[in-house]
């Protein structure tokens, strides 16, 4: 088999795989989401870790005070902020008896900042269920009802999902949409319910709806106190204990403005990628980078093969057709899933650019890790 034929065949296989997996994942999401959301149920504790969040915190708390779900408490922890975060918390605490501010303790050795904040919040929570959410989110009135209804319908210990991502510009959107890799190429969502396993575990920290008794059973965040990706480690730990964890589409439940600049988006998503994959898998990461680059350039390669075939290289006609079909399947599916998760069409059809961003973040993250420069966030080294 020649190199062009191998490349075309590989692209066709990847395109078919992405299409089949994405269709199955959309079906799983729809089957797991109830048509009617319940506004009645046990107490739900909404927990917000906040560190220097004066720009977004007020909108987050305001949206949570307007929930259709009736029995909630809202706990907001000020994680050693140096801005107006505590002042905003106290303002809402005075306005709504369901809101309670907590002054976070000084970061203890061995913990990451966010996991330590989440641990403190969980110890103060009284609800049967807990919703962890980020301070840069804005929730629709049915956000809490959504999490509770999905958890109850599926017997899930954890429900997490993609919010509607507000993307200030196209470049930021193409970086953030890297998360679509999970549902297009990686996680078979139906298996999360049928066969809980850490390999199929995935979660998004902006929305973590967890049963409190299950969180207590795994000793809260203690077992992964030093993890960069608290969300994914929480999902994996629950799966290891035989608990169902679901990744769904939560775009109708909340929206999020994760990043306000391209640099911030690159470093933020890079941090998540670095925290997800252990260093021992470095060789696999490099293989993945090569495959992603191949996928990214596949539309161009299809044109090159076709141009050479038309100029007389008859052996390149089949590779041109195989590559074109594979690229169309892959990036057409990518665009369809982007639309499903409420990204704009311009971002959805920029899959090749997103793939190149992912490669750059993988390689830059590895370089920072091996050079021991590490990562920082919100003024802390992580």
Tell me the pLDDT tens digit for each residue of 196-209. Answer: 888 889 999 999 99
Residue 328 has a pLDDT of 98
Distance from C-alpha of 221 to C-alpha of 98, rounded to nearest angstrom:
25
- Closest of 326, 332, 304 to residue 317, by C-alpha: 304
Residue 380 has a pLDDT of 66
Which residues in the chain belong to E strands, given as ranges? 44-50, 72-78, 99-103, 129-133, 137-139, 158-162, 164-165, 207-211, 245-249, 254-256, 376-377, 380-381
Distance from C-alpha of 290 to C-alpha of 14, rounded to nearest angstrom:
14
CATH for 28-259 (3.40.50.150, 3.40.50.300, 3.90.550.10, 3.90.76.10) = 3.90.550.10
- Cα 144 to chain centroid distance, Å, stands at 18
Per the CB < 8 A criterion, the answer to whether 242 and 348 are in contact is no
Q: What is the largest distance, in Å, between two alpha-carbon atoms of the chain?
A: 78
Stretches where the chain sits below pLDDT 70 are: 275-281, 372, 374-382
Helices and strands, number each (H, E), in the chain: 15, 12
Distance from C-alpha of 70 to C-alpha of 92, rounded to nearest angstrom:
18
DSSP of 188-235: -HHHHHHS--GGG----TTEEEEEHHHHHHTTTTGGGTT-S-HHHHHH
Residue 382 has a pLDDT of 63
pTM above 0.85, yes or no: yes
Residue 7 has a pLDDT of 97
Residue 286 has a pLDDT of 86
Q: In this structure, are strands 72-78 and 44-50 parallel, antiparallel, or unpaired?
A: parallel
What are the tokens at 355? 């793939």
- pLDDT single digits (tens) 269-316: 988 887 666 666 677 888 999 999 999 999 999 999 999 999 988 789
- Closest of 235, 237, 209 to residue 223, by C-alpha: 237
Distance from C-alpha of 224 to C-alpha of 238, rounded to nearest angstrom:
12
Residue 374 has a pLDDT of 67
Per the CB < 8 A criterion, the answer to whether 16 and 44 are in contact is no
Domain(s) labelled CATH 3.90.550.10 in the chain stretch across 28-259
């Amino acid at each position: 088999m020649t190199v062009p034929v191998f490349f075309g065949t590989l692209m066709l296989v990847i395109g078919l795989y992405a299409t089949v997996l994405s269709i199955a994942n959309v079906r799983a999401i729809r089957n797991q989401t109830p048509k009617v959301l319940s506004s009645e149920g046990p107490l739900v504790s909404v927990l917000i870790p906040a560190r220097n969040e004066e720009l977004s915190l007020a909108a987050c708390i305001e949206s949570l005070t307007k929930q259709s779900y009736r029995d909630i408490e809202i706990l907001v922890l000020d994680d050693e902020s140096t801005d107006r975060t505590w002042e905003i918390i106290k303002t809402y605490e005075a306005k709504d008896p369901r809101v309670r501010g907590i002054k976070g303790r000084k970061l203890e050795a061995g913990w990451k900042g966010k996991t330590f904040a989440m641990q403190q919040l969980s110890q103060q929570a009284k609800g049967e269920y807990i919703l962890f959410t980020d301070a840069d989110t804005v929730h629709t009135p049915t956000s809490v009802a959504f999490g509770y209804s999905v958890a109850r319908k599926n017997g899930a210990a954890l429900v997490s999902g993609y919010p509607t991502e507000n993307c200030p510009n196209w470049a930021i959107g193409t970086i953030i949409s890297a998360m679509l890799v999970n549902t297009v190429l990686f996680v078979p969502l139906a298996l999360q319910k049928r066969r809980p396993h850490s390999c199929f575990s995935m979660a998004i920290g902006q929305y973590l709806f967890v049963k409190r008794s299950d969180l207590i059973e795994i000793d809260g965040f203690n077992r992964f106190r030093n993890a960069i990706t608290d969300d994914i480690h929480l999902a994996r730990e629950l799966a290891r204990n035989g608990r169902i964890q679901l990744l769904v589409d939560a775009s109708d439940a909340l929206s999020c403005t994760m990043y306000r600049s391209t640099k911030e988006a690159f470093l933020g998503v890079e941090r998540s990628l670095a925290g997800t994959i252990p260093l021992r898998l470095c060789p696999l990461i490099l293989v993945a980078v090569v495959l992603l680059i191949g996928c990214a350039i596949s539309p161009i390669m299809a044109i090159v093969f076709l141009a050479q075939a038309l100029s007389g290289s008859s052996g390149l006609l089949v590779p041109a057709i195989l590559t074109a079909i594979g690229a169309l399947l892959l990036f057409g599916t990518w665009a369809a899933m982007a639309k499903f998760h409420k990204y704009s069409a311009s971002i959805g059809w920029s899959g090749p650019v997103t793939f190149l961003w992912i490669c750059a973040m993988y390689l830059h993250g590895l370089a920072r890790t091996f050079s021991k420069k590490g990562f920082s966030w919100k003024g802390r080294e992580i």
